[in-house]
Structure 1
Amino acid sequence: MRPAEPVRAGAPRWQITVPSRPGRLPGVVMAGFSDRANEFRDVALVPHPAVTVIFDLGDQPFVVEDGRGARQRERVVAGLAPNGARGRGMARSSECLQLRLSPMVAHAILGASSELGGTVVALDDLWGREAVRIQERLRAAGSWEERFAIAEAALARREDAGRAVDPEVAFSWGQMVATRGRIRVERLVTETGWSRKRLWSRFRAQVGLTPKRVAQLIRFDHAAHRLAAGHTAASVAAESGYADQSHLHRDVVAFAGMTPTTVALSPFLALDDVAWPPASGGTALISRE
């Protein structure tokens, strides 16, 4: 069990459960969210360099809305960097299982990539009736550990049957992650041996966004977490490779639709240390400011 996070009196709380042991699928992490007090209402989704799959398991639908007002519920996929996406809790208790997939495994597991760049779609559109059957099994499960096992088995089957990304795409992704998005595309072109046009085309087809946009997203993600950790915008801009604080401000607004000050206080980011730690397990409570 992870100790509970400090909770301010009267602040809404979620119960978050993560697997007790590391999963067997590289590039896949998962967490269970419960809001028994019916205090979850509305939270902006801060873009991050992973594809999110949500299975709603509560009494009433948990809705994910994109920036254009389109709504998805029950079984939802949020692709890389959906613009203006929000999660909205409904009446009664809310409960859901969230999976975060690296783009390197999402391509095989979901059977789509280019369709997911900046969008929110129904999982049913990608998996058909299988998505409904998995949700029904998750609802019937007696514990979160059983739910994690069901989800992992389903993902493993689809990954085995799916098509892996090109080695050059995987290499480019790895270099972007290793440099926190601060690598130039021209260097990737040289190191992969592909032409710029081919790298651009294959990367976008298999990941959903262009190499340049993904590098910007990874850099933004690092900066957003540094802001949430309490570092000043000026220091974050300097250490994250932005030209200046104004450059950071523009990037944050472009990705998250909010200012660096607002991103720093985002409840979505406040969940990350509990729901998506490098390696841990158990249950914790966290406040939403």
Structure 2
Amino acid sequence: MRTFVHGAAVWDVACPRRPSRVAGVTMAGFRVRDLNALRMVPHPAVTLLLDFGTGSPVLDHAAGRQERGSIVAGPGLGSGGAVWARGENVECVQVRLSPVIARAVLGASPADLGGAAVPLGDLWGRKASRIREQLSDASSWEDRFALADALVSRLHEAGPPVDPEVAWAWHRIVGGRGLVRVDGVAAEVGWSRKRLWSRFRSQLGLPPKRAAKLVRFDHVAHRLVAGEGAARVAVEGGYADQSHLHRDVMAFTGVTPASVAGEPFLAVDDIAWPSRETPAHDGSALRDASRPAT
């Protein structure tokens, strides 16, 4: 376990020693004595927050809604800077799921989440309570990661896959860091733009153009956190100019690129998620770049 210190933020962070048995799954463990108003920055993955500590994390939404404890959130949660996390004595395992495998693991499409956070018990029922008890009883972080991975693996094996064309389109977007044309991706899989749009959104929870924008934003946001200049990031990130980057960052986070560079939610990734691009896909795009059968 390592300690992450960033301004006033002081968190203990644990990472599993071995990768998940399921491609497209990454996880990290967090212990935070005082989680004070953490801005949730949109990310291109479905997030499972498995709470097990004596405290309880709270998500506050700009509209006044709150969720407590274990939650599941679709890709892009926090757009516009509308969601903040807080809590005392928080202990949790955070699991990031590629949208391609999320439907099988959750037992529901990410589209059913409506871009929001949902109490995990609403989806999993008693399974959510059982995994919380098991994580609480575990004696080490490695045991907790093994418990979470075993559960995800069982659910993934039993759940329905997405269409191979949809999976391929997602891999294409991620592999291109969001710099792809949706019409071109549709042509590559042999579908009409309308058909790809409909299947992609219903199975992954967001339309392909939004997915491309989110993947591109995630990539450039981490470059800003790494200290790269906004002008260079804008040019190399495929934005028309620095003003375009500014507008996109503001739309996703509600703050400027300079402010995003100091966000703890992103800065912790070098410790918690050393292979940041992994949860955005399941790896098959790298193993097989051929066009799916039609």
Specify if TM > 0.5: yes
State whether residues 35 and 85 of structure 2, in contact with CA within 8 Å, keep that contact through their aligned partners in structure 1: no
Alignment pair present for 1:71 and 2:66: yes
State whether residues 34 and 95 of structure 1, in contact with CA within 8 Å, keep that contact through their aligned partners in structure 2: yes
RMSD of aligned Cα (Å):
1.6
Give the share of equivalent positions with the same residue, in percent: 54
Amino acid at match of 2:85: G
Alignment pair present for 1:42 and 2:42: no
Alignment pair present for 1:61 and 2:59: no
Residue of structure 1 in register with 2:264 after alignment? 267
Residue of structure 2 in register with 1:204 after alignment? 201
Amino acid at match of 1:81: G
State whether residues 80 and 116 of structure 1, in contact with CA within 8 Å, keep that contact through their aligned partners in structure 2: no
Match 1:85 to one of 64, 83, 100: 83
Question: What displacement does 1:66 show?
Answer: 3.1
Question: What displacement does 1:261 show?
Answer: 0.8
Question: What displacement does 1:23 show?
Answer: 1.8
Pairing of 1:1-40 with structure 2 (within 5 A): 7=5, 11-35=8-32, 38-40=33-35
Alignment pair present for 1:130 and 2:127: yes
- CA displacement, residues 167-209 of structure 1 (integer Å, 9 cap, x when unaligned): 0001101110111000000101111111111111100001100
Alignment pair present for 1:100 and 2:100: no
Residue of structure 1 in register with 2:163 after alignment? 166
Pairing of 1:119-268 with structure 2 (within 5 A): 119-268=116-265
**Partners in 1 of 2:59 and 2:154 — Cα distance?**
26
Question: What displacement does 1:12 show?
Answer: 3.4
Question: What displacement does 1:39 show?
Answer: 3.2
State whether residues 66 and 120 of structure 1, in contact with CA within 8 Å, keep that contact through their aligned partners in structure 2: no
SS at match of 2:19: coil
SS at match of 2:227: coil
State whether residues 62 and 87 of structure 1, in contact with CA within 8 Å, keep that contact through their aligned partners in structure 2: yes
Residue ranges of structure 1 left out of the alignment (5+ in a row): 280-289
TM, length-normalised to structure 1: 0.90
Question: What displacement does 1:80 show?
Answer: 0.9
State whether residues 111 and 203 of structure 2, in contact with CA within 8 Å, keep that contact through their aligned partners in structure 1: yes
SS at match of 1:89: strand
Residue of structure 1 in register with 2:280 after alignment? none
**Partners in 1 of 2:113 and 2:184 — Cα distance?**
26
Amino acid at match of 1:57: F
SS at match of 1:107: helix
State whether residues 32 and 96 of structure 1, in contact with CA within 8 Å, keep that contact through their aligned partners in structure 2: yes
**Partners in 2 of 1:220 and 1:117 — Cα distance?**
20
Question: What displacement does 1:67 show?
Answer: 3.5
Residue of structure 2 in register with 1:111 after alignment? 107
Runs of 4+ in 1 over 6 A off after TM superposition: none
SS at match of 2:34: coil
- CA displacement, residues 132-172 of structure 1 (integer Å, 9 cap, x when unaligned): 11111111111111111110111111111111110000110
TM, length-normalised to structure 2: 0.88
SS at match of 1:39: strand
CA 1:85–1:11 in 2, change beyond 3 Å: closer, same or farther? Answer: closer
**Partners in 1 of 2:253 and 2:99 — Cα distance?**
19
- Greater shift, 107-116 or 201-210, is seen at 107-116
**Partners in 1 of 2:43 and 2:129 — Cα distance?**
26
- Greater shift, 176-185 or 109-118, is seen at 109-118
Of the two structures, which has the highest relative contact order with CA contacts closer than 8 Å and spacing of 6 or more? 1
Residue ranges of structure 2 left out of the alignment (5+ in a row): 277-294
Question: What displacement does 1:117 show?
Answer: 4.3
The number of residues matched between the two structures is 272
